[in-house]
Structure 1
């Protein structure tokens, strides 16, 4: 009997044994909503901890090489890895900040060229703007003044508010970064002892084995995923750097580093990169046709990496349903912003591993798994015979 069939049988038996009453389902829904509300309210303290846990999974391999094989003391090994991580982050920040500041300062000079290239869209955009202004007037009862936003005092107040917002966000970001680094240091140095203590309190030997299996599989699969996508993202950044240099875009290092960072966010990140490349091309090249060269090559590189190479490397150990990956991405991006989008896939993978090893949750783990073969409605009807999907192949 094939392993896939055995897995389906075990999932079905677990589903039969764990049927919940209506009261239990309602309590479960309320608990999930309470957990998500807590994660949203306490994001300033929870998010650094989750980031530290995920980065710890990426660094746990080098940490064991330094501490176990090279006999480096754990605090010193953790400090070396964190200094290396800080150096990489600083290098990325320098590679982005200086050219980006130059682009921002030159943006007003390039606006006439951008308007000339987008002249074909001027009339539709004017029509949309006028329609929006009329809607504002209608909704406000005819008392709206479209020019009120351009009053003399509005600009100064807006700049002050912008400065305050930037300062507050910068202070919050620095605080979260320090919290994450502190938590990461203790996870690297004392994470194994914490896991050992957790296993020791398990009541039975079977529970101890299950806890060890869950922890080892999370560490192996998530660290493999993070290491693989980091290497692939680095290659994507290098190839985009080369193609930007070949097509004549200025500051190719900036756009290569940007492609490297955006590729950590599935789907949305690369699409954002394509849009950015297109607008940079509009500022750089004299014709609209030339502006499409860099984003088209960027899209081809992403399709080759995201649809062929990376799935081939991760297929044996890391398969998740693409629909649920996209849903997880949108949900965590809404809850925690860019950091949530970066953490969406690792957290979904951790949740699937836990579900696969807890009997009551195995049906959920089965749903989260990726497709193992092409499936259509007709295939499902042939496999289970429960519904008539019609005789037409296209049904």
Structure 2
């Protein structure tokens, strides 16, 4: 009996890639990623009218999602819970506007007087400004750019408001509709996305991303809101103690601006310095309000916030500054508000894509090396055991 011997196909070994080929492949991959990022930035910029209110609604919806979940556990329909969340948000917004309306109207009426007093106090800086002006004129003479063309744009403020009003109303309506439908359909949307996942491992990762995003963003925004309210009360009391008029207004403004970390307190200090120039006769006296505010803000930033939020929620300050600068450059004040929540979303996604990576903590190199030494080997795509 003859036995047929089946030979295995020969193994074809490709020659190893040269350094130039590896460099070209890596360069092509980085180039593709860079082009994709630029395309995303241009898309966000071009779609600001639609994307800004929708993304703002998602952030606010994540903030109020624990309230909606609590209502649903008490037997409320998802549509009813979403309507209650929208009404609660509008109620909080209306109460804040009513509290600020009276003192803000007073200061708007005093704006011409405040401007005149600011000009009087800033007169002592006129001499250095004159020196700079003379230097500018000399540079213009040297460069030959004496002829200056002044163009006056046509149109009044009323015409501008008539053009902007429909756009603002449309964005507000889009924001409210997006907030309602996001809260009402958040569970169904999550389940629909999970059903699209082909494997159990991917489904497990995506489910954890949804969980971490909702928990981190809602926890951060709710905690920061409570902290900022406390900061506003403390600043208002401090301004009242040093004799600043409309202390409640400055407390509320401090609470609002503190949502934009780093930049908000800086703007608040400048505002208080300008107001201090109108209330005190000396320059040293006008420094009292911003110094008192910065002292209260320092206590909040260094002691209160780390204790309430926890060290695991603290982020790299340099990354925070870059995120705030990027979103403010892209979308203005709305971008400044959503910068930190979007950074938390990125952290949640990255932490589940790269398990074991501590995106929030600032651990030392020795601690990371020690953790890597004692860690158990595990695949990055492993699901729950």
Bin of the TM-score, shorter chain as denominator length:
0.7 to 0.9
Find the counterpart in structure 1 of residue 123 from structure 2: 119
Are 2:328 and 2:335, in contact at CA under 8 Å, matched by a contact in 1?
Answer: yes
Q: Which residue is equivalent to 2:322?
A: 327
Greater Rg by CA: 2
- Report 1:146-185 matches (<5 A): 160-185=155-180
For the residues of structure 1 that align with 2:233 and 2:182, how far apart are their CA atoms? 32
Q: 1:26/1:185 Cα in 2 relative to 1: closer, same or farther (>3 Å)?
A: same
1:311–1:174 distance in 2 versus 1, CA, 3 Å: farther
| 1:236 paired to 2:231 | yes
Equivalent of 2:219 in 224, 242, 248? 224
Q: Which TM-score applies when normalising by structure 1?
A: 0.80
Give the deviation of 1:20 after TM superposition.
Answer: 6.6
The count of residues paired between Structure 1 and Structure 2 equals 346
The counterpart of 2:110, out of the listed 106, 111, 126, is 106
Q: CA RMSD in A?
A: 2.7
Does the C-alpha gap of structure 1 residues 44 and 287 become closer, same or farther in structure 2, counting only changes over 3 Å? same
What pairs with 1:60-79 in structure 2 (closer than 5 Å)? Answer: 60-69=65-74, 71-79=75-83
Q: Mean alpha-carbon deviation: is it higher for 115-124 or for 77-86?
A: 115-124
Unaligned 5+ segments in structure 2 are 1-23, 371-385
Map residues 9-88 of structure 1 onto 2, 5 A cutoff: 21-69=26-74, 71-88=75-92
Pick closer, same or farther for the CA change 1:36–1:225 going to 2, 3 Å.
Answer: same
CA–CA distance in structure 2, aligned partners of residues 116 and 240 of structure 1: 28
**Higher fraction of helix:** 1
Equivalent runs, 1:200-349 vs 2, <5 Å:
200-349=195-344
Residues 1:112 and 1:185: Cα distance change in structure 2 (over 3 Å): closer
Distance 1:58 1:107, change over 3 A: same
Give the aligned partner of residue 371 of structure 1: 362
Contact 2:312 2:360 in 1 (8 A): no
- Is the contact between residue 327 and residue 336 of structure 2 (CA under 8 Å) also seen in structure 1? yes
Summarize the Cα distance change of 1:313–1:29 in structure 2 as closer, same or farther, 3 Å threshold.
same
Is residue 321–residue 369 contact of structure 1 (8 Å, CA) maintained in 2? yes
Tell me, in whole angstroms, the C-alpha distance in 2 between the residues paired with 1:267 and 1:348.
15
Q: What are the within-5 Å matches in structure 2 for residues 352-371 of structure 1?
A: 352-359=347-354, 368-371=359-362
SS of residue matched to 2:245:
coil
- TM-score (normalizing by structure 2): 0.82
